[in-house]
Structure formats: C-alpha cells, structure tokens
Structure 1
C-alpha cells in the first residue's frame, strides 16, 4: 500500500488529513488521525495499535492512539461524507457495490462477534460481519460507508439473544436503540445515507446474498435506482411475453388481481426453454490484467440474455393489484458447462446493449479487490478493540487510508517513489 516514498508519505498525508478530518475540532484529534493513517500505510504484518505505535517510532504514544480510536467521541458521519465526496468526484463511479465480509475473531468480547456464516471462511465460524458500500469502476474503487451487523444473539429483543447479552452490550458500548437488522436493510440504510450526503448512485450491484431478496430489489426500484444483482438459478419468474388475465372477487370482494396464464418457472428452466447453451453468445466486456505475447487478454464468456418477469409470493404481495415489472435475466453459460454458472437480474431499460449489461454485471468484482486491499494491506480485521465506537472509528480510518491511496493513484501529478 506504499504509494509514495516513506519520507514523503507523512507530508502528503498532512493536507489530506486536514481536509477529510476537518470535523474533528478538538485539540490533537486531527494529528492522531494523521498518525493512524500513516501507521496503516507503513510496512508491517500487523496493523493493530500497539505494533503501529512501535513502527511510528515514538511520534505518538500508544495510549494516545488507542484513546483516540476507542474512547474519543468523534462522529464518523462527517468524515465518511467527505471521503464519499472526494471519491465520487475523482473516480466518477459507474456503480455502488454492496457486499459484506467476515472479520474472524477469537473469544466473545468483540462487539457483535458470534458464530455465523461468512463467505470469507466459507463456513459458520466465530466472526464479525461488516457490510459496506463501495464506489466502483473497472479500474478504481473505494469503500465509503460501513455497518456492523448485529446478530440476533446480540439483540435483547430477540428470542435468540445470548443469556448475558445485556452485559456484553454494556461492555461494548452498544446503544439501546441498536438491534438486529438484516444485512440488506443495513445496505439500504447506507444507500439512503449516501444520498442524504448529496451523492447519487449511478447503479447498484450486489451478489446473490442481496439479489435473491425480492424486498431488497423492490426497495431499490421504489427509490428509482437501477440495479444489476447476482441471483440464484432457482428463483421463480414468468417468460416474456406472457399472457395475463384478471381475477375478480365480486363487486364487494377484494380488488382485481392480475394472474398469469403461463406457469412460473425457475431461471434455469427459462434459460433452457429459450434455447439453452445454443442461445448463449460470446460477449467481451473488458480488458483483463493478464497478458499473453505482450498483448492484454480480454475478459469474455458466453451469455444468454432474455427478458422475464420475476415472480414469487413476496413480489406478488408487494405489487398487489399491479403487473409484475419486467427485468433482464443474464445467465453466464460457458461452452461445455452443463448449466449456467451465474445469473443476474437487472431493471435497466429495455433498450440497452448486451455488452453493457454484462460489463455492469461483472463490475462487482471490484469490491473483492477492495476487501483484499483493506484486509491484507491496511489491516481492516486487525483491530483488537472491544467497543462499538472503536470499531466504527477504525473502519472509517481504513476507508480514509484506502481513499488516500486511490486518489494518489488517480492523480497524474503524484510523485513517484524514490
């Protein structure tokens, strides 16, 4: 993560820190924020406070750094809002990518740690779950907002609450009004927050953990937002065109309800009925990072793309009395595969190039790049504090450091390492 020479890094960070952390008005807070960012960017295997303080060579005391992150009551929202503004202007994102990542932990004292599934480990394990929104393009991205997922075992109102949940929450400093909230709702909260800060999402992309949820897709549409989200092949939908009839219940009964004469099918069945692998066409969506014979390799695969009408009990309830909206189904079906390997749904306009649909569907890969950088390079999961406030301070500082590196890469005037 060293983007400039170590000797110049502190100098380059000074102006950036004064800008991003301008809301930190108390004496010494901005200075400690700058030292924390500096420590995150220095070489070192562990990016927790104690080893960072050692690497900083006594420039700031470990206790002062720990107090700043864990106990100082500075709000994260103005800092994140400024990071989002800088990244929005510099990167010009093509989408906002929503995802979550597991932070593996030992013990039970860290806020909201529990045995839960995380794709990071590919199994149920002891971890925290961080939900994030990144602003992304094919060549640049940055996480700009975060939420810490509260499992039901940490919610006193849940029947699944741990017996000592009140003691755990008190030690972690979790406010009474904070309870369990599904990850997709946390994602929508962040989208609304970013919009409230004056940012406007060009598009939402997410994996099937969010895309499979019909309410999540409905809420995006209700906000007037476009999306391309990965989904599972066993979701139900109607083919297009499909015949519709209206069922009435008498003059005093329930309002008329649209019914479709064609039966619901799974996405896999719809793609198969549309021609299967024979209907798939090769699409190239971007230049890859690998080279062969000195030439860059292009990213390409075979895709079947068709118009459908997503269905299911939840959507019928949400759209009661109205027609179910049409959507794009994008199915990646490589030659030789027995069935599609990935599916996406999108509410983008009917008049759109197939290559554009595929490129946007594949754009979510950038968030995996972000997670790799903030974990291996900046120590996202190295924080050893045990408070709710400290965790949110840490991830905000991680975003600030990642944004600094992203801005340095994007600036043609950035000084090269010596």
Structure 2
C-alpha cells in the first residue's frame, strides 16, 4: 500500500474504533482500546501484550496495555453490543451461528483450562474452550458474543470439582456466581443477551455438538427461532408419517399414553431407506481452489436427501442436519443455510492466524473476555475493509 492508502486506512480504523469504543467510560480506555486494536492488526507472529508493545513504537507502553486488557474494569458486553449493531447493518445476517473453539495451553493456571475435547486439536487435550455467536450471511460474518466454558472440575458445586482448580478461581478472577453450564445452554444465554440488544435474526445454525441436544432445539423453538443444526448419524427418529397409537382402554384408571407402533430408527437408516434416487446434487458455494465455477473456483457440491422426520432421541456428530423450517423450503436453500457454518470456520482461522485470538497469555477470566472481544473488533474491521474494496461480483466468494 502507498503512504496515502495507509493514511486512509488508519483514518478509517480510528473512526471505526471511536464508534465501537463509544461505551468506554474513560478517555484512557478509549485510547488504549485503539492502541490494542492497532497491535492486533500489526504485522508479526505473536499478538500477546509484550510483542505487540514492541511493535507499536511510541504507543508501546507494555504496562498500560497489560492493565487495560487484564485489570481495567470495563464490561465487554457493552463493546460487543456496539459491534453487533454496527455489523448487523453491513452483513444483513440470515442466521445466528453458534460454535466453539479451543485455546490450547501448556500450563494449568489460566481460567477454566482443563483436559477436554476440542475440535481445534481433534482430541482431548489441555485447553480452554470458548463458545461464540456469529452474525452470518453468504457474504460476511462477525463474532459478536462470547462465553468461556467452565468445566465441572472448576465448579465447587460439582461432584467432579478439583480442589486445586477451585482454589485458583479467586486468582483467576472467576465470579462467584459462575458455575459449570453446558455449551448449548451458554449458546442460548448468548442468544438471549444478543436479542436484548435489539438484534433479531429468525434462524439459528449450529453443528451436532449443539443440534444433538434436544433441550437446545426446544430452547430455540421456545424463543421463536427456526433452526438448521447438525446431528449425529445415531440420533433416532420416526418417519414423518408415523402416527402414535393408544392401546385399549377399559374406562378406569389413567388412559394409556399413545405410542408409536414401530421402534424409532437412526437418521442414517432412514436416509438409506429412502434410496439413492432420493438424493439430489446441490452446489452450495464456490471454494478457494481453481476450478470450473463461474468465478473460476472449484464448485462445492454433493448429493443431499431431504426427509421430514419426528425426532425421537439423541447422540454424536457427522454430516446430517435437522431443521424445523417449512416443508416447502427448496433443498438448495436448506443446503445453503446448513453450509453457512463454513463462514465461522473461516472466522476462527482469520482470528487465530492473523489476529492472535489464541495468543492471550494472561490467566484471568476478565482478561480472556477482553481479549476475545477486541480480536472480534479487529476481525470486524478487516471484514469491513474487504467488503468496501472487493468488486461486487467477487464479494460473496
């Protein structure tokens, strides 16, 4: 970029930061918020406080940056709400997408670190897990809310509490009223908070880690949201046409409860029973590799079967989805919405590789929430820059 172009981008960054950081109560918080944001956007591999301070020149006050991110008492929810309002206008979200990502750790002193499964490593390992909510459309997405998952071992009220980890809660600044909550419930809590900001999106998308939880699906329905969620091959269901039948009733005592005459089958069995002729090829987007698509990129497509079913149970993850959208919804639309989750994988990759999402070296609950919030702000600015400068025919790609 030329010096003039750099000056323009810096001016745009300052204007964006002034808008998003407007809730900060103090002038010094607004200043160090902008400096931290610039640090996340600078070149260089590590985006923790010390290396960022070294790259920031005269603004590189390591102590001030560390205090701002770790101990300054600002509420990240206020910044997230401001960010959500700003990005909703630009993205025009079709869905709220829920997901989680791992923050790999070597030590055991950071808040909520534990040996647990994360898709980041594809195994059980020593890590923190963050749950996120994203506004998403085909052209863009933005992480606007976060929760740090607290394992049972960190919860003094849990039978699985670990005395050493419980003893570290105070040093990590974990609030007394925070206990273990399942990830799907954290997702619903974020949904409620985001809606309290005035963000109303009528569709939820998530993978099987959330879709397998019947309570999560019921929670979405109770809040008036439709959903397209991943489910496990082993989740059991009845065919849509199955009808519960009540047994004979003598007229005395409690009447028998109506039951399905046949046992439920796994969704995998129901799809196989539909036969190969039921599968239709659908392209949902064009990828990043060269290919024969309209934009010169490889077409992303596969064969899909859409069946109406009655969910009967729960279990683990693979390429199956469950949706309560209307039965007349075109299969191509269903597939496109189900595949909208790819944008969140793209968000995580950008935030981790370019913006230091997993580089926070502090150990506190508040510091973690501050850092991921500011990384989301930095990612949103990059998204705005891309959308403003990309030709309209390639923005969606």
TM-score after normalising by structure 2: 0.92
User: Tell me, what secondary structure is at the counterpart of 1:107?
Assistant: coil
The runs of 5 or more residues in structure 2 that have no matched partner are: 392-397
Counting only pairs closer than 5 Å after superposition, residues 3-402 of structure 1 correspond to structure 2 as 6-247=6-247, 253-254=253-254, 257-275=257-275, 277-292=276-291, 295-312=296-313, 342-402=319-379
User: Tell me, what secondary structure is at the counterpart of 1:58?
Assistant: helix
Question: What are the Cα deviations for residues 30-77 of structure 1, in whole angstroms up to 9, with x where unaligned?
Answer: 010000000100100000000000100131411001101111101111
Mapped contact 2:234–2:314 kept (Cα < 8 A):
no
User: Which stretch shows the higher mean deviation, 298-307 or 106-115?
Assistant: 298-307
CA displacement at 1:284 relative to structure 2: 1.9
* Correspondent of 1:404 among 360, 364, 381: 381
CA distance in structure 2 between the partners assigned to 1:49 and 1:230 by the alignment:
38
CA distance in structure 1 between the partners assigned to 2:298 and 2:164 by the alignment:
55
User: Tell me, what secondary structure is at the counterpart of 2:57?
Assistant: coil
Mapped contact 1:246–1:257 kept (Cα < 8 A):
yes
CA displacement at 1:254 relative to structure 2: 4.7
Mapped contact 1:243–1:262 kept (Cα < 8 A):
no
Mapped contact 2:231–2:318 kept (Cα < 8 A):
no
TM-score after normalising by structure 1: 0.87
Question: What are the Cα deviations for residues 316-341 of structure 1, in whole angstroms up to 9, with x where unaligned?
Answer: xxxxxxxxxxxxxxxxxxxxxxxx96
The runs of 5 or more residues in structure 1 that have no matched partner are: 315-339
Question: What are the Cα deviations for residues 219-277 of structure 1, in whole angstroms up to 9, with x where unaligned?
Answer: 111111111111111110001211321358776755763322232111111112211x3
CA distance in structure 2 between the partners assigned to 1:169 and 1:372 by the alignment:
30
CA distance in structure 2 between the partners assigned to 1:289 and 1:228 by the alignment:
25
Mapped contact 1:93–1:202 kept (Cα < 8 A):
no
Which residue does the alignment assign to 1:328?
none
RMSD: 2.2
CA distance in structure 1 between the partners assigned to 2:246 and 2:314 by the alignment:
17
User: Tell me, what secondary structure is at the counterpart of 1:246?
Assistant: coil
CA distance in structure 2 between the partners assigned to 1:99 and 1:199 by the alignment:
18
Mark the CA change 1:341 to 1:133 in structure 2 (over 3 Å): closer, same or farther.
Answer: closer
Mark the CA change 1:295 to 1:11 in structure 2 (over 3 Å): closer, same or farther.
Answer: closer
